[in-house]
Amino acid sequence: MPHKHNADRRHHIPKMSFKVQNWPAYEAGLRRRGSLTLWIDEASLKSWQTIGPSGQARYMEAAIQTSLKLRTAFKLALRQTEGLMTSVLTLMGLTLSVPDHTTVSRRAVALPVIQPAQIPQGPLHVLIDSTGLQIYGAGQWLEAKHGAKSRRSWRNLHLAVDAASGMIVAQTLTDQDVDDPSQVGSLLDQIECPIGRVTADGAYDGAPTYQTIAQHGDDIEVLIPPRATAIPSGEPDTPTQRDRHLAIIAQQGRLAWQVKTGYGQRSLIETTMGRYKTQIGPRLEPAALQHNSPKPPSGWRCSTECWWPDARILFVARPSPDNLFGIGIISHSV
């Protein structure tokens, strides 16, 4: 309800005030958000395309990735992306041809995942959460166009994020009927580095989650808030981690437990999901989904900088060899 009957008696946390102290640097950063930079070095020109026996251009992965990145950054359709690529290469005075929209659509499904340049080392503090992505297909088009009712379809994107760097270190894409705790093992299996702590929200609370995490290391600290109706396990020997959390909450309260354990860092994965949906969007196209495939859609695979913690930067132009294929695709901020 919009106005709760006990709103005047609830505890209200005042809004935190911020004051900009480095105004020149902050103002320069605001101007840089509108900057646009694009270049292609000589090494990338050689890996752009090849010519077949009949004289037809055969595009390499660099050309397809460039088209998909421009499409993601400017939120264009495939035909508009083809036109943008053609005009940009013409303005740059290059004699390269541009892959047409059908080629980009066909090749995007099998495009390999672009891995981050550097994986964090050492014991990781892993944050786990999931978000829903709506599938926009024929049923949703009929609903928007003619008002016809259709059943909504979703996919759940499960992420594991390193709390120190903000990098996505593991991911799975499942149907809407798959619960969150069942994907903890699949996420941790993808992480080769040692794990020091795992943090998740209350939806992951339960003995199966603790058992799955213990299979990847007995010394992993688990930080999951117990449910309000949770009871101790009753172990006669040493208490479990969940029992210790329950004891602290019973003695000091849930807010004190969050401060003492550092549970507030879990909000960093919410920021990561916001970055993902800002770049890719909250919906999936059915053509990009493969049945029984654990890989995310092609829109995820063409976006390199969604792995990194700067929420404002979509694609950061970097020189070779840090940038794949040595392509300075685009510097565009939101």
Looking at the fold, whether 110 and 128 belong to one and the same domain comes out as: no
pLDDT tens for 77-129 read: 899 999 999 998 888 888 889 999 999 988 888 887 665 556 677 789 999 99
On the question of pLDDT at 294 being above 50, the answer is no
Looking at the fold, whether 226 and 92 belong to one and the same domain comes out as: no
Instruction: Give me the pLDDT at residue 4, please.
Output: 58
DSSP 177: T
Alpha helices in 20-118 (DSSP H): 23-32, 42-46, 61-74, 78-91, 101-109
Domain assignment of residue 17, yes or no: no
On the question of pLDDT at 193 being above 80, the answer is yes
Q: Which percentage of the chain shows pLDDT scores above 70?
A: 72
Looking at the fold, whether 128 and 110 belong to one and the same domain comes out as: no
Q: The CATH number of the domain where 182 resides is what?
A: 3.30.420
Looking at the fold, whether 99 and 198 belong to one and the same domain comes out as: no
Alpha helices in the chain (DSSP H): 23-32, 42-46, 61-74, 78-91, 101-109, 138-146, 184-189, 207-214, 241-252, 254-261, 267-280, 298-301
Q: How far apart are CA 99 and CA 62, in angstroms?
A: 11
DSSP 311: T
Q: How far apart are CA 158 and CA 128, in angstroms?
A: 7
Q: What average pLDDT does the segment 207-234 reach?
A: 90
Looking at the fold, whether 56 and 189 belong to one and the same domain comes out as: no
Domain assignment of residue 238, yes or no: yes
Looking at the fold, whether 147 and 266 belong to one and the same domain comes out as: yes
Chain Cα centroid distance, residue 65:
18
Confidence of residue 303 (pLDDT cuts 50, 70, 90): very low
Closest by CA to 151, choosing from 164, 168, 134, is 134
Domain assignment of residue 18, yes or no: no
On the question of pLDDT at 76 being above 60, the answer is yes
Confidence of residue 216 (pLDDT cuts 50, 70, 90): very high
Instruction: Give me the pLDDT at residue 52, please.
Output: 80
Looking at the fold, whether 309 and 274 belong to one and the same domain comes out as: no
Domain assignment of residue 5, yes or no: no
Domain assignment of residue 31, yes or no: no
Domain total in the chain: 2
What range defines the domain where residue 322 resides?
A: 39-114+302-333
Domain assignment of residue 3, yes or no: no
Instruction: Give me the pLDDT at residue 61, please.
Output: 87
Looking at the fold, whether 137 and 283 belong to one and the same domain comes out as: yes
Looking at the fold, whether 143 and 269 belong to one and the same domain comes out as: yes
55: alpha, beta or left? (left if phi > 0; alpha if psi -120 to 50): left
Q: What mean pLDDT is reported for the chain? A: 77
Looking at the fold, whether 109 and 182 belong to one and the same domain comes out as: no
Domain assignment of residue 21, yes or no: no
Domain assignment of residue 22, yes or no: no
